[in-house]
């Protein structure tokens, strides 16, 4: 069965669209890329056999109560107690329930975005997904401003907001959340032990300041299901990166998925240096084999999917 999906996904993408009028057939963009709608549908269906993004994007309130014990997804021996604060912020229903979009942008954080001029194009999509609270205002021309769904690994709180220990870090963080308005803030809180203090601090601030951001916390099965899907397709990823997770989720509710800022390489195609992140000085040590991700393998897979029209990977300037 896995072989079958693999061959359909990675090799044979020459399906013909049937039962469509000429007006329905997607037109190629300026660079000749065209969405392959039947492949998009097939991938959505295949992924649904492993996970349902509508459901797995977040644990909902009714499924837990304060005091419940959760085993961390990637370290089952350790546990977390569901606090009242966390419970209050669990959504009543999935934030993606019945959401459907014609086009979505998934924005990775590669330095390749610098000088890309892609901001306007990114913002023109119907739904924009961004990773790890990356800054926008100072880079708006290249990355845009719109965000409908933003991920935040708990480690960002320590690395970028000083663990929210002092007042100025807390204010900076609150300002960043205010800029999200009422979009979704997606916090993978149940992956590994270590970030729980930060998650609790974030949750308390959101409640105390009455921030309108809509919190979501991925289901306990999400990461294994996503890994399972890619493994079945012969893509051996130890732990999918946030960007790959977001693409996988987006297949459920987006007809056309455009990826920006995916470039896990220190040089561009001309040999010029590329920063790991467009906004800070983090280095490529994250790509050693000891790191959790296999972004270059993920990239290769995404590139193949691009060439088959399953998604559009933008790696060149937008203007
Ligand atoms: N990314 C990329 N190339 C880079 C940097 C990031 O392709 N040079 C993509 C990856 O899919 C990554 C996503 O953009 O998951 C978001 O970037 P980042 O916030 O840096 O994610 P990481 O913290 O590196 O990894 P993760 O959150 O997935 O653990």
Q: Which atom of ligand 1 is the closest one to the Cα of 134? A: 19
Q: Is the CB of 132 under 6 A from ligand 1?
A: yes
pLDDT in the model for residue 28: 78
Nearest protein CA to atom 29 of ligand 1, as residue: 241
What is the rounded CA–CA span in Å between residue 162 and residue 49?
Answer: 41
Residue 27 reports pLDDT greater than 80: no
Q: Is the CB of 312 under 6 A from ligand 1?
A: no
Residue 188 reports pLDDT greater than 70: yes
Q: What is the DSSP letter of 9?
A: I
From 286, 284, 281, select the one nearest 266 (Cα to Cα).
284
Better-predicted residue by pLDDT, 14 or 233: 233
Q: Is the CB of 258 under 6 A from ligand 1?
A: no
Do residues 90 and 187 touch, judged by C-beta distance below 8 A?
no
Neighbouring residues of 32: CB distance < 8 A, sequence distance ≥ 6: none
pLDDT in the model for residue 69: 98
- How many Å lie between the centroid of ligand 1 and the Cα of residue 37? 27
Q: Is 205 exposed, middle or buried (0-12, 13-18, 19+ CB in 10 A)?
A: middle
pLDDT in the model for residue 9: 60
Q: Parallel, antiparallel, or unpaired: how do β-strands 214-216 and 312-314 relate? A: unpaired
% of the chain with per-residue pLDDT over 90: 84
From 89, 120, 125, select the one nearest 106 (Cα to Cα).
125
DSSP string covering 124-164, please? TSSEEEESTT---GGGHHHH-S--SEEE--THHHHHHHGGG
In the structure, what pLDDT confidence band is assigned to residue 46 with cuts at 50, 70 and 90? very high
- How many Å lie between the centroid of ligand 1 and the Cα of residue 316? 18
> What pLDDT, in 10s, does the model give residues 94-115?
999 999 999 999 999 999 999 9
Give mean pLDDT, residues 21-25: 56
How much of the chain is helix, strand and coil, in % rounded to 5?
40, 15, 45
Do residues 143 and 118 touch, judged by C-beta distance below 8 A?
yes
What is the rounded CA–CA span in Å between residue 222 and residue 216?
Answer: 13
What is the rounded CA–CA span in Å between residue 211 and residue 205?
Answer: 8
Which residues pair with residue 259 across a beta bridge?
Answer: 106, 313
SS3 for 177? helix
Instruction: To the nearest 10°, report the CA torsion of 278, 279, 281, 283.
Output: -40
Better-predicted residue by pLDDT, 275 or 25: 275
Distances (CA, A) of 207 to 13, 174, 298: 48, 11, 37
DSSP string covering 241-262, please? -HHHHHHHHHTTTEEEEEEES-
> What pLDDT, in 10s, does the model give residues 136-187?
999 999 999 999 999 999 999 999 999 999 999 999 999 999 999 999 999 9
Q: Is the CB of 218 under 6 A from ligand 1?
A: no
Half-sphere exposure of 305 (CA within 13 A, CB side): 30
Q: Parallel, antiparallel, or unpaired: how do β-strands 254-260 and 101-107 relate? A: parallel
Is residue 258 annotated as a catalytic residue, yes or no?
A: no
> What pLDDT, in 10s, does the model give residues 202-232?
999 999 999 999 999 999 999 999 999 999 9
Could you tell me the two tokens for 268? 């561009």
> What pLDDT, in 10s, does the model give residues 265-310?
999 999 999 999 999 999 876 555 556 678 999 999 999 999 999 9
Q: What is the ipTM of this complex?
A: 0.97
Instruction: To the nearest 10°, report the CA torsion of 203, 205, 207, 212.
Output: -90
Neighbouring residues of 20: CB distance < 8 A, sequence distance ≥ 6: none
From 180, 311, 295, select the one nearest 243 (Cα to Cα).
295
Residue 11 reports pLDDT greater than 90: no
Q: Is the CB of 186 under 6 A from ligand 1?
A: no
Q: Is the CB of 133 under 6 A from ligand 1?
A: no
Q: Which atom of ligand 1 is the closest one to the Cα of 111? A: 8
What does residue 312 show for φ and ψ, rounded to 5 degrees? -115, 120
Nearest protein CA to atom 18 of ligand 1, as residue: 109
What is the rounded CA–CA span in Å between residue 304 and residue 10?
Answer: 7
Query: What is the residue-averaged pLDDT of the chain?
Result: 91
What is the rounded CA–CA span in Å between residue 54 and residue 240?
Answer: 19
């Amino acid at each position: 069965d896995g072989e079958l999906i693999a061959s359909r996904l990675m090799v044979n993408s020459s399906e013909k669209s049937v039962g469509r009028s000429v007006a329905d057939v997607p037109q190629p963009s300026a660079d000749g890329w065209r969405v392959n709608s039947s492949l998009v549908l097939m991938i959505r269906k295949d992924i649904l056999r492993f996970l349902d993004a509508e459901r797995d994007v977040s644990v909902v309130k009714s499924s837990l109560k304060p005091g419940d014990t959760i085993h961390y997804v990637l370290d089952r021996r350790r546990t977390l107690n569901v606090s009242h604060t966390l419970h209050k912020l669990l959504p009543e229903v999935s934030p993606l329930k019945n959401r459907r979009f014609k086009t979505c942008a998934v924005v990775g954080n590669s330095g390749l975005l610098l000088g890309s001029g892609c901001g306007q194009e990114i913002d023109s999509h119907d739904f924009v997904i961004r990773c790890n609270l990356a800054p926008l205002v100072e880079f708006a021309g290249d990355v845009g401003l719109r965000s409908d769904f933003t991920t935040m690994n708990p480690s960002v709180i320590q690395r970028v907001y000083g663990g929210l220990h002092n007042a100025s870090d807390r204010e900076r963080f609150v300002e960043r959340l205010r800029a999200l308005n009422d979009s979704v803030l997606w916090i993978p809180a149940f992956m590994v032990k270590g970030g729980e203090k930060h998650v609790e601090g974030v949750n308390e601030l959101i409640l105390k300041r009455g921030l309108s951001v809509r919190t979501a916390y991925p289901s306990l099965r999400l990461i294994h299901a996503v890994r399972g899907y890619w493994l079945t397709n012969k893509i051996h990823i130890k732990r999918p990166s946030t960007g790959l997770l977001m693409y996988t989720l987006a297949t459920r509710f987006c007809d056309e998925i455009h990826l920006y800022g995916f470039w896990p390489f220190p040089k561009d195609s001309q040999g010029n240096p590329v920063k790991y992140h467009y906004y800070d000085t983090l280095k490529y040590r994250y790509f050693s084999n000891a790191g959790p991700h296999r972004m270059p393998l993920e990239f290769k897979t995404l590139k193949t999917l691009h060439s088959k029209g399953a998604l559009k990977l933008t790696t060149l300037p937008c203007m």
